[in-house]
Amino acid sequence: MIDTIKSTIADLRSDMIAWRRHLHQHPELSFHETDTVRYVVEKLRAEGVEVRDGVGKLTPGSPGTGAIALVKGEKAPSDACIAIRADLDALPITEVGKEAYRSKSPGVMHACGHDAHTAMVLGAGLALHRLRAQWSGTVMLVFQPGEEKEPGGASLLVKEGVFNDPKPSGILGQHVTPELPTGKLGFRSGAFMAAADELYITVKGHGGHAGSPHLAIDPVPIAAQLILALQQVVSRRNRPGQPMVLSLGKVIANGATNIIPDEVRIEGTMRTFDEAWRTELHRMLPELGRGICEGHGAKVDFTIVKGSPVVKNDPELTARIREAAIAYVGVENIVDMDIRMGAEDFAYYTHVMPGCFFRLGTGNPTKPGTQSGLHRAEMDIDEDALELGAGMMAWGAIRELAR
């Protein structure tokens, strides 16, 4: 069956490249993937695949920008079902490079590989549909919106009950990985990727003339003290050896050379692996902020938006998919991964069903941008990896259904 899958996927290679490049040129931000999901649905329905669109509603009554497709094997009657997932959204980044297929949407770019994820799940689904006489059961294709933005499209699909009928026995997902060479697959059992929370902080002082700081309550140095204190939580309050990251990526003090501003706005992210420690941080950090700011006569609004939990790779499912990968590409192309402080809303699936989230190597030193980090303006993938990614999803799904 492996050779049949590889051959069918190879026939779809040029299509997958075209799909990926179309999506790359027409990226859409989280929960605005209207044209993206329409494009995917049209490809599936053109081949007779059953599709339900309009899922992943951000608010009641809003148009959902996700879709669920059911590819059904016809070899023998079976109630077995396995899901494979792709994410649709892009990022607010202005792209550089890729003259042939650069984003046509100003300030929006597929810098995290979701265009490739979508093309590969689409390719896997159509390959399985063409081979449906040779296998039994149902493969659910999950095309979800909003992976990059809270509350996470995965959480919405779970709440909407899209996995209730049919009910998958597990779900597979993958992510392009520039630091892995093309042709490699990376696996880790158990906790794999961090829980992620967003921090929104406003330090409120009293502005004034920069030459008369004694008549103001300057929020800038107070914010600076708070930023340093938050980093000391990581280095001094966190248990040594316990993974944690706190990064503040946005600081706005909108004064001038001679103006002390009224407030400083700070935004960032917190990544953890221990749920009890995460809960304690939700209590501790706002308390720390109030103490520092009030001690200087300022006030603070300190909001923590709880995001996705830890990605938990089911040990048994992951072991089986890893063995399937060895059969598909050879043990020499299997890499054991360390934990990653990046977050993934795929985590929501792994808390309601067995999940396996693995990494797909897309780095190639001979192709510009393919070794660039994710979320960067020059990020690209080696499109030779599309065949392996699509084939591995199809083969992994069939292996699970055969159980």
Task: Examine the pLDDT at 64 and tell me if it is beyond 90.
Answer: yes
Three-state SS letters, the chain: CHHHHHHHHHHCHHHHHHHHHHHHHCCCCCCCCHHHHHHHHHHHHHCCCEEEEEECCCCCCCCCCEEEEEEECCCCCCCCEEEEEEECCCECCCCCCCCCCCCCCCCCECCCCHHHHHHHHHHHHHHHHHCHHHCCCEEEEEEECCCCCCCCHHHHHHHHCCCCCCCCCCEEEEEEEEEEECCCEEECCEEEECEEEEEEEEEECECEECCCHHHCECHHHHHHHHHHHHHHHHHHHCCCCCCEEEEEEEEECCCECCEECCEEEEEEEEEECCHHHHHHHHHHHHHHHHHHHHHCCCEEEEEEEECCCCEEECHHHHHHHHHHHHHHHCHHHEEECCCECCCCCCHHHHCCCCEEEEEEEEECCCCCCCCCCCCCCCCCCCCCHHHHHHHHHHHHHHHHHHC
Confidence class for position 110, pLDDT limits 50, 70, 90? very high
Distance CA 329, CA 180 (A): 15
Instruction: With a cut of 90, say whether residue 60 has pLDDT above it.
Output: no
Structure tokens at 294: 């009030």
CA distance 128 to 119: 14
Q: Please say if the pLDDT value at position 265 is more than 90.
A: yes
Sign of the torsion angle spanned by Cα atoms 19, 23, 24, 30: negative
Sequence-distant (≥ 6) Cβ neighbours of residue 187 within 8 angstroms? 313, 318, 321, 322, 325, 334, 335, 336, 337, 356, 358, 359
Token pair, residue 178, equals: 């520039």
Question: In whole angstroms, what is the distance from residue 62 CA to residue 308 CA?
Answer: 22
Catalytic residue numbers?
89, 147
Q: What is the mean pLDDT of the segment spanning 10-29?
A: 98
What is the number of other CB atoms lying within 10 angstroms of the CB of residue 340? Answer: 18
Does residue 98 carry a pLDDT above 90?
A: no
Share of the chain above pLDDT 90, in %: 98
Q: Percent of the chain having pLDDT more than 70?
A: 100
Mean pLDDT of the region 53-74: 95
| pLDDT at site 61 | 86
- Looking at residue 2, its amino acid is I
Angle between helices 385-402 and 13-25 (to 10 degrees): 110
pLDDT digits (tens, 9 = 90+) for 330-360: 999 999 999 999 999 999 999 999 999 999 9
Q: How many CB atoms lie within 10 A of CB 135?
A: 22
User: How far apart, in whole angstroms, are the C-alpha atoms of residue 354 and residue 345?
Assistant: 15
Q: Distance (Å, rounded) from C-alpha 189 to C-alpha 321?
A: 11
**CB count, 10 Å around CB of 161?**
9
Q: Using CA atoms, how far apart are residues 299 and 262, in angstroms rounded to an integer? A: 11
Q: Output the pLDDT for position 362.
A: 98
122, 389 contact by CB (below 8 A): no
CB-based contacts of 26-29 (< 8 A; 24+ apart in sequence): 26/103, 26/104, 26/105, 27/90, 27/91, 27/103, 27/105, 27/108, 27/109, 27/110, 27/115, 28/88, 28/89, 28/90, 28/105, 28/108, 29/89, 29/90, 29/91, 29/92, 29/108, 29/148, 29/149
Render pLDDT for 189-215 as a digit per residue (tens, 0 to 9). 999 999 999 999 999 999 999 999 999
Residue with tokens 């502005």: 207
Domains recognised in the chain with CATH numbers:
2-194+310-402 (3.40.630.10), 195-306 (3.30.70.360)
Q: What is the mean pLDDT of residues 12-28?
A: 98
β-pair type (334-336, 259-260): unpaired
pLDDT value, residue 31: 97
Residue 160 in this model has a pLDDT that exceeds 90: yes
pLDDT of amino acid 69: 98
* pLDDT greater than 90 at residue 393: yes
* pLDDT above 90 for 97: no
Paired tokens of 277? 């420690």
Residue 99 has pLDDT above 90, yes or no: no
Say if residue 56's pLDDT is above 90: yes
